[in-house]
Chains A and B, each alone.
Chain A
């Protein structure tokens, strides 16, 4: 329910919730966000796979225990260490400008890198991503892919250039919820899956879907079930699979783990690390600073449509990013 709220709104919501509690109203708060639970809940019941695995006061739990109860495994956040970073950049953006959204944006991205783009809501980070995927036309500036100047005028064009985009809101922009998981996974790779005559066989679709269901351990017993039957984390894995089943040079993710539980979040992060190690160039757009710190080898900080700072490897920490934003 709160996934789409900003920090400020969450704060206001909590204030109201506390007022109601003080008036003697019992409140049941359902969430998978650790921070929120520790902030608001007096007691907590943790459920996993349909069973109650913990019941007690929140204060007697540590974060680590909480995560363990939720996921059934010990999670260790490993920081991403880039290997095999290419010498030549695969993507180069020069002086990209869109009036009212962002201006004079220049950066380079190499294979094997995970670049973070962060900033507050309205800093132009999402608009920049949309422009790189052909959904917003920039006024001026240049984009180079593998040293070749390109014009990305539509998502179809972006796909031809091997750029993938995992959107901010997977429900409205990334998935066909009332359609089979298999169809969702294969939607972008239908051309590849079709025969010489351009015909698509259900058998091939299911085979391709099975590969990704296994690879990403998507929690379903039947890929013909609708995508809406899955949890947020598993849905996000479908969106990722959709893009990764194509040849890809650059993957842009906008808020990749918004509304995703801790276990799936860890899975997705590890997956991104693995992909980068295999030579994919990744851009993560996020305002989740912990996520940016744990996953990015380089971070660009945006404010009011401009790049106001850049951090590398060991310099990346939440405080440093916050200092730049302020």
Chain B
């Protein structure tokens, strides 16, 4: 009885079907590519590409659950890492360790996030419009006001070391070497934290309620304003840290380096079963969707398809995902 109930609950969820799709797709790619997908170095490469993508997806998930959209996180992150890296450069910091750059990024990200949070909660504005505005604002500050330079070969050594730090290395049957970045642990940690906050805390419950129906949530005694303010503040803080992490991993800080990521990340979150209307979404679903998208873009080459087909396939997967969630939502409401 309890088991069938649990099974029935599971089959009502989009992510359950998405997971099946992911497994089937992996099997198909494995066969077509002649066993290349499950080579240890392919898996490690996918884990590497997943790290930053997955972390941004996790913070976007939290915003989508609250019924909002944050389009500003890419430029917020790039403004943050540009400024942090420049400060470190000019002060001569981060020659051996990277923590000072991360501390700076966390503080700057938090401040920028608070700006989002303040505007959204104080004036009760549409989150998409506000963050579209701050997205451009942050880019303007970075490019126009501060004229941030591209930092490549002069990147502080501490950041470089941290980006190259690896947990282990693997070889493929043909002898190709791949390393598992230490940063992957941060991705795992963030996933656990977000899962924990959403499931076990007042704050998480409040986010679901606000996304479900803001008026009802307010009348049920939830402090909507405060919750929203801190949501965007925290998202800013974490986005700053993720941006810094990316600088370390790609060994350069390009002011426009993350432009357009919002349009890559948010659809993945929706694909993972989060509702565009808010109030629904799980860490598991988002992770499955992020893995799915990463596997697709990483394995097109494996099965001999030109990489410029990537966008085509991404678009196809997103359409499929949105259709599934719409059908699911309809079925659930009956």
Q: How many residues of B sit at the interface, in one of the four size bands?
A: 20 to 34
Distance in angstroms from A71 CB to nearest chain B CB is: 23
Tell me which of B5, B8, B212, B221 contacts A159 (CB under 8 A).
Answer: B221
CB contacts under 8 Å to B, within A151-191, are: 155-156, 159, 165, 167, 172-179, 183, 187-188, 190-191
- A200 adjacent to chain B (CB < 8 Å): yes
- Complex CA distance for A24 and B222, rounded to whole angstroms: 54
- B143 adjacent to chain A (CB < 8 Å): no
Are A178 and B217 in contact, CB atoms less than 8 angstroms apart?
Answer: no
- Complex CA distance for A178 and B5, rounded to whole angstroms: 19
Tell me which of A156, A190, A226 contacts B333 (CB under 8 A).
Answer: A226
- Complex CA distance for A191 and B201, rounded to whole angstroms: 10
Are A174 and B216 in contact, CB atoms less than 8 angstroms apart?
Answer: yes
- A313 adjacent to chain B (CB < 8 Å): no
- Complex CA distance for A314 and B202, rounded to whole angstroms: 48
- A202 adjacent to chain B (CB < 8 Å): yes
Q: Summarize B's interface: helix, strand, loop or mixed.
A: helix
Q: Which residues of B contact A229 (CB under 8 A)?
A: 332-334
- Given A155-B221, A167-B219, A226-B332, A178 and B212 touching (CB < 8 A)? yes
- Complex CA distance for A176 and B222, rounded to whole angstroms: 13
Distance in angstroms from A196 CB to nearest chain B CB is: 13
Are A228 and B217 in contact, CB atoms less than 8 angstroms apart?
Answer: no
Stretch from B34-42, B75-83, B245-253, B274-282 contacting the other chain = B274-282
Are B212 and A177 in contact, CB atoms less than 8 angstroms apart?
Answer: yes
Are B202 and A188 in contact, CB atoms less than 8 angstroms apart?
Answer: no
Q: Which residues of B contact A200 (CB under 8 A)?
A: 200-202, 205
Are B213 and A172 in contact, CB atoms less than 8 angstroms apart?
Answer: yes
CB contacts under 8 Å to B, within A27-67, are: none
Are A198 and B201 in contact, CB atoms less than 8 angstroms apart?
Answer: yes
Are A187 and B217 in contact, CB atoms less than 8 angstroms apart?
Answer: yes
- Given A172-B215, A187-B217, A187-B222, A201 and B209 touching (CB < 8 A)? no
Are A178 and B215 in contact, CB atoms less than 8 angstroms apart?
Answer: no
- Given A190-B205, A200-B200, A176 and B212 touching (CB < 8 A)? yes
Are A228 and B279 in contact, CB atoms less than 8 angstroms apart?
Answer: no
Tell me which of A179, A199, A228 contacts B200 (CB under 8 A).
Answer: A199
Tell me which of B208, B218, B329 contacts A183 (CB under 8 A).
Answer: B208
- A222 adjacent to chain B (CB < 8 Å): yes
- B223 adjacent to chain A (CB < 8 Å): yes
Residue of B nearest to A172 (CB): B215
Distance in angstroms from B311 CB to nearest chain A CB is: 31
Q: Which residues of A contact B199 (CB under 8 A)?
A: 202
- Complex CA distance for A242 and B5, rounded to whole angstroms: 24
- A150 adjacent to chain B (CB < 8 Å): no
Are A179 and B279 in contact, CB atoms less than 8 angstroms apart?
Answer: yes
Are A228 and B209 in contact, CB atoms less than 8 angstroms apart?
Answer: no
- Complex CA distance for A174 and B216, rounded to whole angstroms: 5
- B220 adjacent to chain A (CB < 8 Å): yes
Work out how many contacts link A and B, with CB atoms closer than 8 A. Answer: 83
- A211 adjacent to chain B (CB < 8 Å): no
1/0 per residue A10-24: CB within 8 Å of B?
Answer: 000000000000000
User: How many residues of chain A have a CB within 8 Å of chain B?
Assistant: 33
Tell me which of A187, A194, A222, A226 contacts B209 (CB under 8 A).
Answer: A187
- Given A222-B5, A224-B9, A194 and B202 touching (CB < 8 A)? yes
Are A178 and B221 in contact, CB atoms less than 8 angstroms apart?
Answer: no
CB contacts under 8 Å to B, within A204-246, are: 222, 224-226, 228-229, 242
Q: Which residues of A contact B218 (CB under 8 A)?
A: 155
Q: Which residues of A contact B280 (CB under 8 A)?
A: 178-179
Are B212 and A199 in contact, CB atoms less than 8 angstroms apart?
Answer: no
- Complex CA distance for A183 and B222, rounded to whole angstroms: 13
- Complex CA distance for A28 and B221, rounded to whole angstroms: 42
Are B212 and A174 in contact, CB atoms less than 8 angstroms apart?
Answer: no
Are B9 and A156 in contact, CB atoms less than 8 angstroms apart?
Answer: no
Are A228 and B8 in contact, CB atoms less than 8 angstroms apart?
Answer: no
Are A187 and B333 in contact, CB atoms less than 8 angstroms apart?
Answer: no
Q: Which residues of B contact A159 (CB under 8 A)?
A: 221
Residue of A nearest to B9 (CB): A224
Q: List 17 A-B contacts (CB under 8 A).
A: A133-B219, A173-B215, A173-B219, A174-B219, A175-B216, A176-B217, A177-B212, A178-B277, A178-B333, A179-B280, A187-B216, A187-B222, A191-B202, A198-B201, A200-B201, A226-B332, A228-B333
Q: What is the interface of chain A, defined by CB distance below 8 A to chain B?
A: 133, 135, 155-156, 159, 165, 167, 172-179, 183, 187-188, 190-191, 194, 198-202, 222, 224-226, 228-229, 242
9 closest residue pairs by CB, A with B: A176-B212, A159-B221, A187-B220, A176-B213, A179-B212, A199-B200, A188-B220, A228-B333, A155-B219
